[in-house]
Amino acid sequence: MSAADTPQADPPPRGRPRSKELDASILSATLELAAEVGINGMSMDDLAQRAGVSKASIYRRWPSKELLVIDALRSAMGPLDAVDTGDVGGDLRSILGDLVARFSSKERMNDVLPHLIEVSTHDPALRVELEAYTQLRRVPIRASLERGVARGEVSPDADLDTLIDALLGPIIYRRLLTGGPIDTAFIERLMALVVPGR
């Protein structure tokens, strides 16, 4: 076999691999700082100092602070858990209860999300990222409703996107605007309105 026919090994990747520990440090510092001063008030210099890294290290990973905040939010708040109790009412109560528990906690992302929504109204690229983040969190509810349709618990003519909006909208409205209680009693009243009899 000639040298030309000899299989060649893949070249080693260029540059140093990203450090998961460094990424985690930056994401954690981002949530802390954004919760304290808002996204608009957050400077990359302050962030770099808090995370103990250079500003160049941050920009190599994230081209803008808004996209960095989205990634920080993703890292801190995973998708809602998939639930299959065999009944659409049980599924929805469990999923919404999980959401309420997260909003009721003192986690830092609770303070970051309102800032992110505000900035996204003026930043189309960030809006796309926030929409993708939001859509992923609707998946367990849609799956439960689709199973409900298959079992005859939800009308086959139901507009599932509107049902999801109707379930999540009041929770977000109270969380971001009115500050009204978001508890088990509220979820039960919401269920009675949106999916009566379940």
At 76-85, the pLDDT tens digits run 766 677 889 9
Assigned domain for 95 exists: yes
Residue 13's identity, in one-letter code, is P
Q: In the chain, which residue ranges form alpha helices assigned H by DSSP?
A: 20-37, 44-51, 55-61, 65-76, 88-104, 109-120, 124-151, 160-173, 184-194
Q: Are residues 180 and 108 in the same domain?
A: yes
Assigned domain for 52 exists: yes
* Residues spanned by the domain of 90: 78-194
What's the predicted TM-score (pTM) here? Answer: 0.69
Q: Are residues 56 and 130 in the same domain?
A: no
Residue 24: pLDDT band with limits 50, 70, 90: confident
* CATH number of the domain to which 39 belongs: 1.10.10.60
